[in-house]
Structure 1
Amino acid sequence: MRLSPLFAALAVASALFACAPARETDVSKAAFDPPLALPGNLPLRSFAPAQATGALRSNAEMAQDFLDLNFRMESGRTLPVLTRFEEPITVALSGDVPATARNDLTGLLARLRAEAGLDIRQTNAPAAITLDFQPKAALSRAVPSAACFVVPNVTGLADYRKKRGSAAVDWGQLPQRTRIAVMLPSDSSPQEVRDCLHEELAQALGPLNDLFRLPDSVFNDDNFHSVLTGFDMLMLRVHYAPDLRSGMTEAQVAARLPAILARLNPAGQNVAGGPKQISPRAFLSATQTAFGTGAGAGGRASGAARMLAIARAEGWTDGRLAFSHYAHGRALTARDSAAATEAYSQAAQIWRAQPGGQIHAAHVDMQLAAFALSSGQNDAVLFLTARAIPVARSHQNASLLSSLLAMRAEALTTLGRAAEARSARLDSLAWARYAFGSEAQVRARMSDIAALARRGGRG
């Protein structure tokens, strides 16, 4: 399940706009000077499918990750047996399918065949997996906290409404996967639809849990990774290894994992690192407060402080500590930019030392570039965006990429480099269409970034 309002600010550029003035404004009405003109022939960019870098952590660590991903759910509930599809997998589309989703699905299925070794193809209904596209409002009425979600033994949202609360849709009573529906938004931005497609189709096929400790996976509620990673593909390849089958207990799977991982990921045999424990529920609760929308500035600051306290008490030195520093930085942004910068820097230092942490560090660079833009440090903006833009491209994060390019364009404009600024701005706008969807959303994002530049002394 991909959470909707809770952590959305992490994966999209909205996290940046904590750097704007603390007063509440209607950013959709923010004015450009001169007004922003969206070129009528501006193409909607999209990413070509690209094979991910292989998993870079130890097999011993990833064996425990596999068990925690597959035998526990996000609620903390334990699952009695492993479940998977035991026949070739078919996927069908239903509902109001966005045009971009068709292309993104084709690319994703090709990756699943090539990287995870799955026998999977698209077909017409009925299929083993149905991707049901429905309005966000309808999905929210069914599961208020989710942007998209997966349900067993149903064919779509209407079928789920009929069976909700019954044993048929209980993952804990499922002996084997034969029919699953993925509920996805039909009226979200192309990137949000694609992100949901990647995570939810992967969960329909394999892991049902999310773990905060994973630095290199979409199976992490911090939502920094947008598309399936090398680690995720390895987990799916293990899930469908011939050594395993539906109905096996955790102990039976655990006994076979060392040999499976040694065969599928021999490089992981020589990497240091041992198993890590699941984060306590208190950490999830603190995170919900720190990134929630209903707690207010004081509540978010309190949640971030609890995250940091728990991380230190647990002795974590991994991405969970970095994530806590990141949350602390966001909480401090409006009132103490120096302290916020220090917190962001500590987060980035940890993430840059972790396999899979580059995209997290790029998000920090975006935050730091926003500070630099709002204080007129345009050379720093160029340095930070130049470092982060290639990472955003390689991780296929259009919202991050568009925001970085827009900030770069503002800095170049101020420095009098008009031709370079125009090129960066057009590139930003093209990616913004994929990232944010509607023209109103694109205008709002660009207006917020222009406002940062004005604070830095231009205009």
Structure 2
Amino acid sequence: MAATALVLAACAPSPSADIAQRRASFDEPLPPMRAFGTPRSSASVRTNTQLAGDFLDLTFMLESGRELPRLTRFEGEITVGLRGSADATLQRDLSRLLTRLQREAGIPIRSAREGEEPSIVVEVLPRKELQRAVPQAACFVVPRVSGWSEFRRQRRSETVDWTTLETRERASVFLPGDVSPQEARDCLHEEIAQALGPLNDLYRLPDSVFNDDNFHTVLTGFDMLMLRVYYDDALSNGMSKAEVAAALPGILARLNPGGQRSGPTPTPPTPRIWIEAIEDALGPRGNMVQRRVAAERAVDLARAAGWRDTRMAFSLYALGRLSLSREPELALAAFIEAAEIYRRLPDTQIQAAHVAMQLAAFSLSAGQTAATIGLVEESLPAVREAENAALLSTLMMMRAEALALQGRTAEARAERTEALGWARYGFGADDVVWARATEIAALAPGPSDR
């Protein structure tokens, strides 16, 4: 990618729907929704020493910072039942997930038969109803209850306290039904994984859904390995952290022989002050100025700590997003630095693709079609592997606009049609799909802008 192209793009209008004035005219019907085929997950590149530390931190702590005294898991066959207004797409996604858990994690899990009481209930609810009970939660999982009604009765009791568990026998996953198919699927993956195994999220993990940065939306090779370890015969309910730590080297040597090598020292814990800065920057509270200040604080803390890992890059990514509308030059600089970090690391291809989308918006706004196409084509393999249809469709729409600017009309039309098919899965409702397409079309300069 040419650095001069990116510098020139900084002079173009910020890639934000807030300032886009030109609107495309779309009058053709939407194509059929596209769907992903055979999953393609890559193995983790970290050493078994690193993986052991990750497993312990994921397993013996909650996201709140509370410690868990013992390992708990399901025993025997696990069944999953779907309740509520689940459409055919969600049912297909659940079936694909259960198949992956069987094959990749070795977990004896299947769909519950009619009349059978499931081990894990997946209940679909209106988003407003879900958030009345748990504000700001897109979806969540709780132990020891079988469905929404029981949860409502027990939600203020120790029944749904993970720290009091001795073993896992029942759990319920609650997710919204009035969201895009991709958002519902993402909830399925993370919440069923937590129902089965680790309950913590770690910002340092580059290749996992167990990370609040939300770059990964379906279970990765790392996640499947963590779940396979969780259900290994060498572990059992009630084991302490010390007992699990003693068993992990042998388990990982057997399950992940490629990780039996030396490597970098384990990443130090993430300080709470940085997590709070990131949460302030990306959370719902505070105005835009306050959130941007929080992102700047996260960048400063990461620099002071000497980080050159995903946490440094994510701080920059957050700052870039929050600076787009008012300080596009700062946003571009932050995205370029984040891209450099992500490209240097061995397991951050999907993160690099998210940043590339931001950079492609700048280059498209500047009419730099070759740079836009290059950024998109570099990113697509990782995006397809990660099964992120929203990002895939956005990148393809950008490439379609760049192709149209080059006069390659037929290619642009075919690209846009495929992109709209993915957008139906990634964004859901027709009006949301068309709004996204219109925003992307508005980035491309019109004849008077060239």
**Superposition TM-score, scaled by structure 1 size:** 0.91
Say which SS state the counterpart of residue 140 (structure 1) adopts.
helix
Give the drift of 1:314: 2.4
- 1:10 corresponds in structure 2 to none
Kindly provide the CA deviation profile for residues 328-369 of structure 1, in whole angstroms up to 9, marking residues without a partner as x.
Answer: 222332233333222112111211222320000011110000
In the TM superposition, residue 457 of structure 1 has moved relative to its aligned partner by 5.1
Q: 1:457 to 1:166 in 2, by over 3 A?
A: farther
List gaps (5 residues or longer) in structure 2: 1-12
Among 165, 180, 184, the residue aligned to 1:193 = 184
The Cα of 1:294 is off from its aligned counterpart by 3.8
Q: Is the 8 A contact 1:135 1:186 kept in 2?
A: yes
Worse-matched range after superposition: 233-242 or 274-283: 274-283
Question: Which of the residues 370, 374, 381 maps onto 1:390?
Answer: 381
Select 1:283's aligned residue among 256, 274, 277: 274
Partner SS, residue 238 of structure 2: coil
Alignment-derived partner of residue 342 in structure 1: 333
How far is the alpha carbon of 1:278 from its aligned partner?
2.7
Query: Displacement of 1:31 after TM fit?
Result: 7.3
One-letter amino acid of the counterpart of residue 131, structure 2: S
| Cα distance, 1:421 vs structure 2 | 0.4
SS in 2 for 1:270: coil
Would you say 1:98 and 2:94 are equivalent positions?
A: no
Whole-Å Cα distance in 2 between the matches of residues 128 and 237 of structure 1? 18
Q: Which residue of 1 aligns with 2:76?
A: 87
425, 428, 437: which one pairs with 1:437?
A: 428
Tell me the secondary structure at the aligned position of residue 172 of structure 2. Answer: strand
Counterpart CA distance in 1 for 2:138 and 2:17 is 29
- Aligned pair 1:63/2:37, yes or no? no
| Structure 2 counterparts to residues 372-451 of structure 1, below 5 A | 372-451=363-442
User: How does 1:357-372 map onto structure 2 within 5 Å?
Assistant: 357-372=348-363
1:174 to 1:65, Cα distance in 2 relative to 1, 3 A: same
Structure 1 counterpart of 2:98 = 109
Sort the Cα spacing of 1:457 and 1:64 in 2 relative to 1 into closer, same or farther, 3 A: farther
Change in CA separation of 1:32 and 1:86 when aligned onto 2, cut-off 3 Å: same
The 1-side partners of 2:28 and 2:199 are apart by 41
State whether residues 406 and 446 of structure 1, in contact with CA within 8 Å, keep that contact through their aligned partners in structure 2. yes
1:265 to 249, 252, 256: 256
Q: Secondary structure at the match of 2:138?
A: strand
When residues 271 and 227 of structure 1 are mapped into structure 2, their CA distance, relative to the original with a 3 A threshold, is farther
How does the TM-score come out when normalised to structure 2? 0.93
- Whole-Å separation in 1 of the counterparts to 2:48 and 2:144: 33
* CA contact 2:23–2:439 (8 Å) conserved in 1: no
2:20 is aligned with 1:20: no
Partner of 1:227: 218
Q: Which is further off, 120-129 or 232-241? A: 120-129
Render the CA deviation track for 1:96-147: whole Å, top value 9, x for unaligned: 1122111111111111111101111111341111111111111111111211
Stretches of structure 1 lacking an aligned partner (at least 5 in a row): 1-16
| Structure 1 match to 2:238 | 247
> Which deviates more, 200-209 or 295-304?
295-304
- What's the offset of the Cα at 1:385? 1.1
Q: 1:230 corresponds to which letter in structure 2?
A: G
Q: Is contact 1:409-1:424 (8 Å) kept?
A: yes
From 153, 160, 182, the counterpart of 2:173: 182
SS of equivalent residue, structure 1 residue 295: coil
* Conserved 8 A contact 1:190-1:437: yes
* 3-state DSSP of counterpart to 1:146: coil
Distance 1:441 1:348 in 2: 28
Instruction: Look up the match of 2:135.
Output: 144
